[in-house]
Homo-oligomer: A and B are copies of this chain.
Amino acid sequence: MPDPGDARLADYFRLRDVNLRKSIETEHGLFMAEGEKVIRRALHAGYSPRSLLLTRRRLEALSGLAAAVDAPVYVVDDAVAEQLTGFDVHRGALASFHRRPLPAVEEVLRGARRVVVLEDVLDHTNVGAIFRSAAGLGLDAVLLAPRCADPLYRRSVKVSMGAVFAQPYSRLDDWYGGLEALRERGFQLLALTPGAAAEPLPDALARIGSAPVALMFGSEGDGLSSHWLEQADSGVRIPMAGREVDSLNVTAAAAIACYELVRPPTGG
Binding site for B on A (CB under 8 A): 41, 44, 125, 128-129, 132-133, 135-138, 159, 161-163, 166-167, 202-203, 205-206, 238, 240-249, 251-256, 259-260, 262-263, 265-268
Residue of B nearest to A250 (CB): B129
* Interfacial chain B residues near A255, Cβ < 8 Å: 248-249, 251-253, 255-256
Kindly identify which residue among B129, B162, B202, B240 contacts A252, using a CB–CB cutoff of 8 Å. B129
Kindly identify which residue among B166, B203, B240, B267 contacts A244, using a CB–CB cutoff of 8 Å. B166
* Interfacial chain B residues near A265, Cβ < 8 Å: 267-268
- A243-B136 contact in complex given A255-B248, A259-B256, A268-B265, C-beta closer than 8 Å: yes
Q: How far is the CA of A252 from the CA of B262 in the complex (A)?
A: 15
Are A161 and B266 neighbours in the complex by a CB distance under 8 Å?
no
Are B129 and A243 neighbours in the complex by a CB distance under 8 Å?
no
- A249-B137 contact in complex given A267-B267, A268-B265, C-beta closer than 8 Å: no
Number of chain copies forming the complex = 2
Q: A129-B252, A136-B240 are in contact. List 19 more A-B contacts (CB 8 A).
A: A41-B244, A125-B125, A128-B249, A129-B249, A129-B251, A132-B249, A133-B248, A135-B241, A136-B241, A136-B246, A137-B240, A205-B268, A248-B255, A249-B251, A251-B255, A252-B254, A252-B255, A256-B259, A267-B268
* Interfacial chain B residues near A249, Cβ < 8 Å: 128-129, 132-133, 159, 251, 255
Shortest distance from the beta carbon of A198 to any chain B beta carbon, whole Å: 15
Q: How far is the CA of A244 from the CA of B265 in the complex (A)?
A: 24
Shortest distance from the beta carbon of A78 to any chain B beta carbon, whole Å: 20
8 smallest CB-CB distances across A and B, nearest first, come from A138-B241, A267-B267, A252-B255, A202-B268, A129-B249, A135-B245, A136-B245, A163-B245
Q: How far is the CA of A133 from the CA of B238 in the complex (A)?
A: 11
Q: How far is the CA of A205 from the CA of B263 in the complex (A)?
A: 15
Residue of B nearest to A128 (CB): B249
Q: How far is the CA of A162 from the CA of B243 in the complex (A)?
A: 12
* Interfacial chain B residues near A135, Cβ < 8 Å: 241, 243-245
A-B contacts, 19 of them at CB < 8 A, read A41-B244, A128-B249, A132-B245, A132-B248, A132-B249, A133-B249, A135-B244, A136-B240, A136-B243, A137-B240, A138-B242, A161-B247, A166-B243, A203-B268, A205-B268, A238-B259, A252-B254, A259-B260, A260-B268
Shortest distance from the beta carbon of A248 to any chain B beta carbon, whole Å: 5
Shortest distance from the beta carbon of A268 to any chain B beta carbon, whole Å: 4
